[in-house]
Amino acid sequence: MCSATRTPRIATFMLAMPALSLVAGLIVFPTVGLFVLSLAENFSPGDPVDQFFAGRFGWANYVRLVTDEFVIGRLLRTLVIGAIVTLGTFIVGVPLAMALWRMSGRAKALLLAVTLTPLLVSIVVSAYGWSVLLGQRGIVNETLRSLGLISRPLKLMHSDIAIIIGLVHILLPFMVLNLLAALERVPRVVLEAASTLGASPLRVHAAITLPLAAAGTRSGVLLVFSLAVAAFVTPAILGGNGTPVFPMVIYDQFSGSFQWAYGAALAIALLAISSVIVALYLATARRGTY
């Protein structure tokens, strides 16, 4: 731990003030405002602010939410898609994380850089790339056709498959980084000891690596799941008709249906779900010591 010189508490407080004000003003206040909007029962978009506060408030929007078949259906669908995406990132991410774990030096840095490209590139660019790849005349269909596996092009674009592929692509770095961080905490020495004692590589990993890396897996899974459920842009570009996922339903309340108060309630619901997942993530993620 650091042994900083004794600084008066007031100085510490003042140092934290600017960032605290940013969070208070740009996270806390707006979220409270959104919550207040979700309680408005007779709100019409564009109502002047004083008229807004003179209106009726209550839980009507939330009651409507829990009894709304369509919305609940979409929410469940989104959770399922999120689960599939998480599984996908795990399956693809584990071999990659393990490979990175064994590497070192330049090769490792290079591979890591490639793995991180979805983070460095805007999600619109990734989604656009997928829309070209998955189109009816896109590479995927053309390759499958030339290999003789299909006779008519598959409808890949504008579907749940496309959403899942797109989300696995952009969330893979998060899974890999979490797995890698967990793996790197496994002391090599223990693995070597087990190996010298005669255990096969599979046994070594099953008995030692897996349990020790479990925490990293849990945190990776939770993080990816929370991001997948809240995703809007990728499903909007790659998804099928209408509003295939919950965040798109929220968007729709604001830009199509003009039901802002209800949309606010949906947004708060998404925030609540996300908070639960993220709370679990924070509890399981091991952070570095400072």
Partner 1 sequence: MLRWATFAWLGLTLVFIAAPTLIAIVVAFSSAELVKFPPDGYTFKWFASAWGKELFWRAALVSLLVALSAMAITVPAGVAAALAIRRSSVATRRMLELVFMSPLLVPAIVLSLAILVGSVLIGATDAPLRLWAAHSIIVLPYVVRTTLASLAGMPPGVEEAAATQGASPWQVFRYITLPLITPGVLAGAAFAFIISFDNVSVSLFLVNQKTPTLPLAIMNYVEYNFDPSVAAISTTMVALSLAVAWLVERMVGLRRILQ
Partner 2 sequence: MKQIHSVNPNLGRRGILKAVAAVVPVALAGFPAIVRAQTKTITTTGYGGVYEKHYRANVVEPWEKKSGYKVNVITTGGADQWLANAMVNRAKPEIDVPFLSLPVTHSAIKSDGVFLDLDEKMIPNAKYVDPFFFDFFDRKAIGFNYAPYGIFYRTDQIKTAPTSWAELWKPEYAGKILLPDTTSGGAEETVVIAAILNGGSVTNLDPGWAALRKLKDNVHRFFKNNNEPVPMLQRGEASIGGWYSARVFGLKDTGVPIDFVTPKEGAPIGLLSFHVARNTPNRDAVLDFVNFALSKEAQEGFGNGIEYGVCNRLAEFKGRAKERVPPHDKLLRIDWRKVEIAKISERYRREITG
The pairs formed by 231-235 with CB atoms below 8 angstroms and a separation of 24 or more are 231/167, 233/123, 233/124, 233/127, 234/123, 234/126, 234/127, 234/163, 234/166, 234/167, 234/170, 235/163, 235/166, 235/167
Closest to 191 in 3D by CA, of 172, 211, 175, 219: 211
For position 241 contacting partner 2 by CB under 8 A, the verdict is yes
- Smallest gap from Cβ 117 to partner 1, in A, equals 6
- Smallest gap from Cβ 58 to partner 1, in A, equals 18
| Residue among 113, 256, 275, 282 that touches partner 2 (CB under 8 A) | 256
For position 290 contacting partner 2 by CB under 8 A, the verdict is no
Q: State which of positions 224-253 bind partner 1 (CB under 8 A).
A: 230, 232-233, 237, 247, 250-251
| Residue among 219, 263, 265, 284 that touches partner 1 (CB under 8 A) | 263
Contact 245, 239 (CB under 8 A): yes
Q: Which residues contact 28 (CB under 8 A, 6 or more apart)?
A: none
For position 254 contacting partner 2 by CB under 8 A, the verdict is yes
Residue 58 touches which of partner 1, partner 2, none (Cβ within 5-8 Å per kind): none
**Cα separations (Å) of 152 from 30, 80, 144, 160, 244?**
50, 29, 10, 19, 25
For position 158 contacting partner 2 by CB under 8 A, the verdict is yes
CA distance 248 to 239: 10
Q: State which of positions 1-40 bind partner 1 (CB under 8 A).
A: 2-5, 7, 11-13, 15-20, 22-23, 25-27, 29-31, 33-34, 37
Provide the residue count of the chain.
290
For position 184 contacting partner 2 by CB under 8 A, the verdict is no
For position 132 contacting partner 1 by CB under 8 A, the verdict is yes
Binding mask 18-47 for partner 2 (x = CB under 8 A): ---------------------------xx-
| Residue among 122, 136, 143, 275 that touches partner 2 (CB under 8 A) | 136
- Smallest gap from Cβ 188 to partner 1, in A, equals 19
SS3 40: strand
Contact 173, 165 (CB under 8 A): no
| Residue among 5, 255, 287, 290 that touches partner 2 (CB under 8 A) | 255
| Residue among 257, 276, 283, 286 that touches partner 2 (CB under 8 A) | 257
**From the centroid of its chain, how far is CA 34?**
22
Contact 249, 74 (CB under 8 A): yes
Please say which residue, 166 or 217, places its beta carbon nearer to partner 1.
166
CA distance 129 to 162: 12
For position 151 contacting partner 2 by CB under 8 A, the verdict is no
Query: Residues interacting with partner 2, by CB under 8 A?
Result: 45-46, 48, 70, 74, 136-137, 158, 241-243, 252, 254-259
